[in-house]
Structures are given as C-alpha cells and as structure tokens.
Amino acid sequence: MRQVGFILEDGFQVMGLAALSAFEFANMHLGREAYRLTVMSERGGTVRSSLSIGIETEPLAGSPDTLMVVGELLPRPLSQGLRAYIAEAGRTSRRIAGLCTGAFALAEAGLLDGRAATTHWAHSRVLQERFPLIRVDDDRIFVSDGPIWTSAGMSAAIDLTLALIEDDHGADLARAIARKLVVYHRRPGGQSQFSALLELEPRSDRIRRALVYAKENLRRPLTVEELAQAASVSPRQFSRLFREETGQSPAKAVERLRLEAAKAMLEEGRHAMDVVARDTGFVDRDRMRRAFLRAFGHPPQSLRRSLRLIEGDDASMA
C-alpha cells in the first residue's frame, strides 16, 4: 500500500481534486487499498477552494510515498513551514508532483532547479522568469524529470495521475481507470496544451494573415519569402515582426502547425503515414517522425497504436 499525500491551501483549484478519483478507481479495480489518500494543509482543518468550497484536511505529517501539491488560480508565496515540508519531502518521498500552478510550490522549495517542468500555459512565462534555473516547457500536458512530476492546468492532473498509476501497476490498469473516468487513455505527456494558432496569438493582422495562410497551405514549402508575401511585408521585416509577436521563428511555428494537422489526421485513422506526411508538408515519413520526436518525445506510430488500443477496448465493452 502506497501513501499519497495531497496538499491544499486556501484558494486551491477544484479541478486538481480530480486526481483523487483516479487513485480511488485504482483501489476499486484492484480490489484492495493500493493507495491510501491523505488530504493535508499546513495547519489542518477546513481549506476553501477558489469557489469557496470547503474541504477538511489533516495537518502536515510524515513523508508520503507520493506527495502531490494542488495549484491555485493565482499562485502565492509559500509559508516558511510549508516550503520546508515540501523541501524535506524532496529528500524522503519517492515521487513529488506539482499539479497546475503547484509547480510554483515545488520551485520555491528548490525541487525544480536544473529540471524540466511545466505548468498551466497562462503562468509558464512567470514561472520561467521567477525561477530561471528551471527548463520550463509550456507545451506539455505533463513532464517527469526523475522523481519530480509537474502538469499543465485543469484536466491535465488526471493525465499525470494516470501516468503515476501506470508507472506503479502497468498500462492495463491505467486504461481501465481512464475508461471509468471517461477520458482519453492517458494523453502522452508531450501532447500540446492548446492549438498552435491560439498559442502563437499574434498582435497584428499581418502576422495573423501569414499564419492563416500557412495553415491553409501546409503542403507548400512555406518559405519566409512566401509567408512575408502573404503578410505584405519584406522577408527581413517579416522575420523580425514574427519573432517579436509570437516569440518563435517562422520555421518553428510552421512545424507546429504541421504537427497539429498531422495529429488530427492520425486521430481520424483513415490515412496512411505517407499520406499524412505528404498532406501536412513533411514530405516524407522520416521527417515527420523526427518532428514528432522533437515535439512530443514519441513517434507518430505510438499515437496510432494508442488509438487502436482504445478502439479495441471500446469494441470489447460494446
């Protein structure tokens, strides 16, 4: 039996509690108390969420096998006692996870220095600015770096928890729990938090026109000159404006648009890999594979395999 401690403080985001259900269903499926859950706060007693919903908690005590810190809508500095507890857990607990802005708590405790981490996209830049030693990846559903895990916001807490359960008990149990929770079977940690066009969010109509043009013409080479023409500016001016407004190079942004389109085609399940690569502008399967590995940490074939597993599970349940 593994002890799992959840830390809440006033203002916590209720979606973080969805992780509790994943552990609950793990116990139900296994027919035993594989996980014993304790909801804690620094002083114990009633803690209120950002919606003023009260949750009873126990005072901080001991070192759980897995410690999970639930984030707040607006992360606040930790008290000295809470910071010390989380820092000590970094030395004594097997795993520590920061859900959503819970990553800020782990960072304050010094557990993310030199590590890769993620958080809700709306707070990722602040996390990077406040803690420059962290390698913040704002385009991941969750990130594991050794014993330290962090997730994006909202429903991503479920994905991280399913990954923890899979790490303990295997993929079959994680799939069974995902079905009970009516969610996609553990979205890969590398999956994007949001659509590329929304994330890039250019300020000017010129850059927006170029991105829309790129999305509608992915099969073309989409050189800087071609995109600049769509934006009605010179190539040199286009490259400067594009980086200023999006924080990325045109080439990286176009690759993200191609990846998004390729994933959508793969999820449809009707297209061969060569067709997906051609229609999204990767030209061949090898280039598409390398792009998937850079962005998501896994090849496109793994996405297709996971979809087939889900389809097989659904058929067996019909």
pLDDT tens-digit series, residues 183-195: 755 454 445 555 5
Check residue 77 and report its DSSP letter.
Answer: P
Question: Average pLDDT for residues 220-240, to the nearest whole number?
Answer: 95
Given 158, 181, 204, which residue is the final one in a domain? 181
Any domain includes 131? yes
81-110 as b/e: b if 16+ CB within 10 A: ebeebbeebbeebebbbbbbbbbbbbbbbe
Residues 140 and 18 in one domain: yes
Q: What is the number of domains present in the chain?
A: 2
pLDDT the model gives residue 82? 97
Any domain includes 177? yes
Can you give the pTM of this predicted structure? Answer: 0.65
CATH of the domain at 54: 3.40.50.880
Cβ–Cβ < 8 Å for 117, 145: yes
Given 126, 157, 181, which residue is the final one in a domain? 181
Q: How far apart are CA 318 and CA 315, in angstroms?
A: 5
Any domain includes 141? yes
Residues 48 and 118 in one domain: yes
Helix axes 224-231, 250-268, angle to 10 degrees: 90
Residues 25 and 63 in one domain: yes
User: Which range marks the domain in which residue 18 is found?
Assistant: 2-181
State the amino acid at position 76 in one-letter form.
Answer: R
Residues 208 and 134 in one domain: no
Residues 43 and 137 in one domain: yes
pLDDT digits (tens, 9 = 90+) for 156-213: 899 899 999 999 999 889 889 988 887 755 454 445 555 566 567 788 889 989 998 9
Phi, psi of 195 (to 5 degrees): -70, 150
Residues 32 and 164 in one domain: yes
Any domain includes 318? no
Residues 75 and 214 in one domain: no
Quick check: 266 pLDDT over 60?
A: yes
Q: Which residues contact 94 (CB under 8 A, 6 or more apart)?
A: 65, 66, 147
Residue 116: Cβ within 10 Å count: 16
pLDDT the model gives residue 241? 94
Any domain includes 312? no
Q: How far apart are CA 294 and CA 148, in angstroms?
A: 21
Cβ–Cβ < 8 Å for 297, 188: yes
With cut-offs at 50, 70 and 90, classify the pLDDT of residue 3: very high
Sign of CA dihedral 206, 211, 215, 217: positive
CATH of the domain at 244: 1.10.10.60
Given 157, 181, 205, which residue is the final one in a domain? 181
Residues 144 and 215 in one domain: no
Residues 158 and 220 in one domain: no
